[in-house]
Each structure stands twice: as structure tokens, then as C-alpha cells.
Amino acid sequence: MIEHIRNNLVEARSALDAFLQDEHNLETVADAARLLVNSFRQSGKAFSCGNGGSMCDAMHFAEEFTGRFRRNRPAVAAIAISDPTHMSCVANDFGYDQVFARYVDAHGRRDDVLLAISTSGKSPSILLAAQAARERGIRVIGLTGKPGSPLQDLCDVCICCPGGAYADRTQELHIKVIHILIELVERELFPENYASQ
């Protein structure tokens, strides 16, 4: 059992090291943070969506903005597309693939940003959400695990986090990227929170 624990931690460290060593990855995270900052400065909102564990990440992304990340500051407009009444209605009437796209159609406006999370980069519901966002002039940040995925083609910025053979390593990198994005946004919008750092 201890050996499995050790192997998991070594594998996770290797995935993080590989991501860190590629300068392009760091640049895409910075570019995504700039999109978010520009949106918030123009009174835009950040929407986020994903399926399964990626929905949990989408919800975590949003609540860190509307609540608090590290220190108190004004709430920031971020919404995870996760309302069960909306999702069950749309899934029943239009099919599950439309659950995120319909929400973007209803609530998205120019100057908003969509964080579209898909470890495979090919989930139909995420691709349709990204397409809906682009049609409305909404910028799209993709968070995926497969280079050259269909999602990448629909994004203004695509952060690709290959984690290995399974999605769990990718999801572990995703949450690190999400926390970094939130910190970068806070450093720009609320520099007083980081004045001593």
C-alpha cells in the first residue's frame, strides 16, 4: 500500500514538473489571467462549466471569486453553470449536450469570459458551450489535458495540462491552474491584498 501511495505522489510530481518546464504553459496561464482581469474591469462576468470532476472544479473556480480566496475583498462576478433546475430542464427538452450552451445563450454578454473545462478536450457539451460563447462575442479560456483537441480550436486561450494516462492527474493540474488564475486576478484587481508579499 505504501508503495502505491509513493507512486501516486511521484507521478503527480512528474506531471507538475513537466507542466512547469514548458514556458508556453506559463504564458497561456498569464494570458488567461489577463482575459479575466480585462473582463472584470469592464464589469463582465466569468462563467465556468465542466462535467463530473470538472464541474466541481468549475464550481470551485466561481466560489473563490464570489466568496474569498485568501483575504477579504469585494465579491467578483463569477458563475458556475451548475443549477440543477436549468440542467435537468435543458437535458430533458434539448438533450444533455445543450446544458451549458443554453445557459451561455441566456446569460452571456460581450465582455464576459467562459472557462470551459474538459480533460479530454472533446466533450460535446463543453464544445457547444464554447461555440455559443464565441457566437456571442464572449472570450473562451479552455482548460484541458489533450494537446490539439477540438476544444483548443474554439478558445482564445487554451491551457493544456497533460497529466498522464488517466484524467485524475490532469484534474490535479487543473485545480493548481485555477488557484493561480484567481491569485493573478486578485493581484491585479486588489493589489492591497498582496502588498506585503
Residue type, 129: A
pLDDT per residue rounded down to tens, the chain (197 residues): 999 999 999 999 999 999 999 999 999 999 999 999 999 999 999 999 999 999 999 999 999 999 999 999 999 999 999 999 999 999 999 999 999 999 999 999 999 999 999 999 999 999 999 999 999 999 999 999 988 999 999 999 999 998 777 788 999 999 999 999 999 999 999 999 998 76
User: How much is the pLDDT for 101?
Assistant: 98
What domains are defined for the chain? 2-189 (3.40.50.10490)
Give how far the C-alpha of residue 69 lies from the chain's centroid of Cα atoms, to the nearest Å: 16
- Do residues 57 and 178 lie in contact, with contact meaning Cβ atoms separated by under 8 Å? yes
Q: Name 47's bridge partners.
A: 79, 114
Q: What is the pTM of this model?
A: 0.96
User: For residue 117, what is its C-alpha cell?
Assistant: 473545462
The neighbour count for residue 5, using CB atoms within 10 Å, is: 9
